[in-house]
Amino acid sequence: MRVSSSLLIACLLGCLAWPLVSPGQAPPKRPTTEPPATPPAAPVPPEATALLRGQVIEGNLASGETRHYQVSLAAGEFAVVMVGQVGVELHVAVAGDDGRRLERVAGWDGRSRTRPVLLLANTATTCRITITNHERQAGAFFVHLTTHRPATAVDRQRFTAFETFQSAQQTRRKNTKSDLEMAVTQLHEALNAYQAANDTDGEAETLVTLGLIYDNLGQTQRAIECYDRAFPLRRAGGEPAGLMQLFNNLARAYDHAGEKRRAVDYYRQAVAQADTLRDHKSGSVLRTNLGYTLNILGEKQEALDLLEQAVDLARQISEPEIEADALNNQGLVYESLGLLPRAQERLERATSLYRQRNDRRSLAVALTNLACIHYKAGRTEPARLALEEALPLRRETGDKRGEGVTLASLAVTFNQLGQPATAQTHYEQALALFQAVGDRTSEANILDHSPPARHPPRSRCHPRPGAQIQTPVHDGLRGQPRELSHRRPAPIPPPPHCLPRPGGQRAPGTIQPSGVTV
């Protein structure tokens, strides 16, 4: 009888597993240790629906629900899958047939938006597209495979633009000055590639993102120029949500440039678009922004009405962070009216919601504002405690400008407590931070109000006209800076920090609160 070599080896190994024994000797007892547990099988991925060119799949996604789709590509093929969202922000992940993630597009700018997923195969592969609703309410979506063909030179150009754009998005999210400047360079490369591919949607998206970055860098006029170039492209695309985002971003830019009336006009147009779309989340964010600006213009009652509407809308859709933003701004309006108990109540509700959501960046802003209320009410020690709680949060979240604001407010507080040396130390730390982030207006304010013997004269500073200290609560509607822009962006307009007059005398409105413009 022939025995296979593999079986023979198995038998020999079985014999060698036991020690030899002499005749008459009891065999050794079998080991009693448990055999090693069988490792759990790798999870089987859920079935994915194959996408066919021209087919549109529509549906609803409950909170936490996920859908899976796939596209099979031969070597050298190109495909475009359009994913649309209505009423929610969807997270889209793309992986190859080996399970490796290829691309991730999350928290798009604004809502009710349509976004392309571009696929280019160097070798034959099956791409898996996963769409998930991480929000607390249900929403609608659609998936449409619009293009599936051998890649042309233009397709490859478009894919290169798409990759460059995504790379720029990753860079800008680091949110340092050098990273933002690097993202600008990448976005200009993407813009040239989109124009070469005649991709007007990609061109518009890139211009909007450039505008956001220029605005965050304080280059407001360049931001407005980018938005103006994007306007006809967005109008031609016929996407109301895209126009809503653009109206919001233009309003922010004009707000930062000091043209408050023009900002109000654009915010009103954005609110109208959100109401037409029945997009309550964007509607709440936009009313928060509009209320903030109207408060600055002295239109207090309309500001309060809009902010109350924003709170109600946020509650309807279970968005506690947006509700907290509106409550924060309500507190600022009541503070400006001298109604400090009402301001305190709104800010305490805001801080409570931020704590529940573990939104540490926004909590630092609200705590700094609450300290302002305590300070104005003559409660210097509670003001100090709130600021000292806010300071490590600023540092932990990397908000250097906000850290400078809190340090400057602490300087005011310690000065009032009769600790001028500690106050001076905080002033100097705040000054170093404002210089590091290039905030020359805040730097000039510090130099104006610090003891003259320790700093160069005011004439050496050249603040940017109309600039303000930025104290963002979110890097934007969850898009990019709470902006109705690129993902959790809507930038938050920034209020001046508090600085005492020379000689330590507190001026009206020292410790100024930070508004939230998302």
User: Which two structure tokens, joined as six digits, stand for 109?
Assistant: 């700018």
What b/e string do you get for 349-381 counting C-beta neighbours within 10 Å, with b at 16 or more?
bbbebbeeeebbbbbbbbbbbbbbbbbbeebbe
Give the helix, strand, coil percentages of the chain, each rounded to 5: 55, 15, 35
CA distances from 503 to 414, 415, 416 (A): 14, 10, 11
DSSP 269: H
Query: Domain-by-domain residue ranges, the chain?
Result: 49-151, 359-451
pTM: 0.70
With 70 as the cut, is the pLDDT of residue 56 above it? yes
Q: Greater confidence, 446 or 412?
A: 412
Diameter of the chain measured on Cα atoms: 108
Quick one: pLDDT at residue 399?
Answer: 82
109: confidence class by pLDDT, cuts 50, 70, 90: very low
CA distances from 350 to 222, 270, 368 (A): 34, 25, 12
Query: Which range has the top average pLDDT, 95-109, 207-221, 430-444?
Result: 207-221
84 Cβ neighbours under 8 A, 6+ residues apart: 113, 114, 115, 141, 142, 143, 144
pLDDT digits (tens, 9 = 90+) for 20-40: 333 344 444 444 444 445 555
Helix (H, G, I), strand (E, B) or coil at 61: strand
With 50 as the cut, is the pLDDT of residue 488 above it? no
With 70 as the cut, is the pLDDT of residue 511 above it? no
Q: Greater confidence, 444 or 152?
A: 152
4: confidence class by pLDDT, cuts 50, 70, 90: very low
Q: Kindly state the average pLDDT of the residues 131-136.
A: 86
With 60 as the cut, is the pLDDT of residue 474 above it? no
CATH number of 359-451: 1.25.40.10
Mean pLDDT of all residues belonging to the chain = 77
With 50 as the cut, is the pLDDT of residue 61 above it? yes
Quick one: pLDDT at residue 249?
Answer: 94
116 Cβ neighbours under 8 A, 6+ residues apart: 80, 81, 82, 83, 162, 201, 202
Order of strands, sheet of 90-95, starting from the edge strand that comes earlier in the sequence: 49-50, 66-73, 125-133, 90-95, 101-106
> Rounded CA gap, 29 and 404, in Å?
74
Helix (H, G, I), strand (E, B) or coil at 418: coil
SS in 3 state form for 332-370?
HHHHHCCCHHHHHHHHHHHHHHHHHCCCHHHHHHHHHHH
With 90 as the cut, is the pLDDT of residue 176 above it? no
Q: Greater confidence, 456 or 290?
A: 290
pLDDT digits (tens, 9 = 90+) for 306-332: 999 999 999 998 899 999 999 999 999
Q: Kindly state the average pLDDT of the residues 479-484.
A: 36
Closest CA to 327 of 279, 365, 376, 280: 365
Q: Kindly state the average pLDDT of the residues 463-474.
A: 27
CA end-to-end span of the chain, whole Å? 82
Q: Greater confidence, 98 or 138?
A: 138
What share of the chain in percent tops pLDDT 90?
Answer: 51
Are 319 and 136 in contact by the 8 Å Cβ rule? The answer is yes
Q: Kindly state the average pLDDT of the residues 282-305.
A: 95
Quick one: pLDDT at residue 222?
Answer: 95
With 50 as the cut, is the pLDDT of residue 484 above it? no
Give the rounded distance of the alpha carbon of 420 from its chain centre: 38
Strand partners, 128: 70, 95
With 70 as the cut, is the pLDDT of residue 279 above it? yes
Query: Where is average pLDDT lowest: 182-186, 309-313, 465-469?
Result: 465-469
User: Which two structure tokens, joined as six digits, stand for 302?
Assistant: 């309309």
In the numeric block, the tokens 């009710």 are attached to: 112
514: confidence class by pLDDT, cuts 50, 70, 90: very low
Give the rounded distance of the alpha carbon of 445 from its chain centre: 29
| H-type alpha helices, 417-451 | 420-437, 440-449
Quick one: pLDDT at residue 518?
Answer: 44
With 70 as the cut, is the pLDDT of residue 288 above it? yes
With 50 as the cut, is the pLDDT of residue 273 above it? yes
> Rounded CA gap, 460 and 447, in Å?
10
> Rounded CA gap, 87 and 52, in Å?
26
pLDDT digits (tens, 9 = 90+) for 397-407: 888 888 998 99
114: confidence class by pLDDT, cuts 50, 70, 90: confident
| H-type alpha helices, 238-299 | 240-256, 260-277, 280-296
Quick one: pLDDT at residue 35?
Answer: 47
User: Strands 139-150, 101-106: parallel, antiparallel or unpaired by DSSP?
Assistant: unpaired
Closest CA to 469 of 505, 502, 514: 514
Amino acid of residue 250: L
pLDDT digits (tens, 9 = 90+) for 197-243: 999 989 999 999 999 999 888 899 999 999 999 999 988 877 788 89
Q: Greater confidence, 99 or 456?
A: 99
User: Does this chain's domain 49-151 share its CATH topology with 359-451?
Assistant: no
Q: Kindly state the average pLDDT of the residues 474-497.
A: 31
User: Which two structure tokens, joined as six digits, stand for 503?
Assistant: 């000689």
Query: Where is average pLDDT lowest: 94-103, 270-279, 357-366, 489-498?
Result: 489-498
With 90 as the cut, is the pLDDT of residue 379 above it? yes
With 80 as the cut, is the pLDDT of residue 489 above it? no
> Rounded CA gap, 403 and 497, in Å?
11
98: confidence class by pLDDT, cuts 50, 70, 90: low
What share of the chain in percent tops pLDDT 70?
Answer: 74
Quick one: pLDDT at residue 136?
Answer: 80
Fold of 49-151: Jelly Rolls (2.60.120)
Helix (H, G, I), strand (E, B) or coil at 146: strand
With 70 as the cut, is the pLDDT of residue 504 above it? no
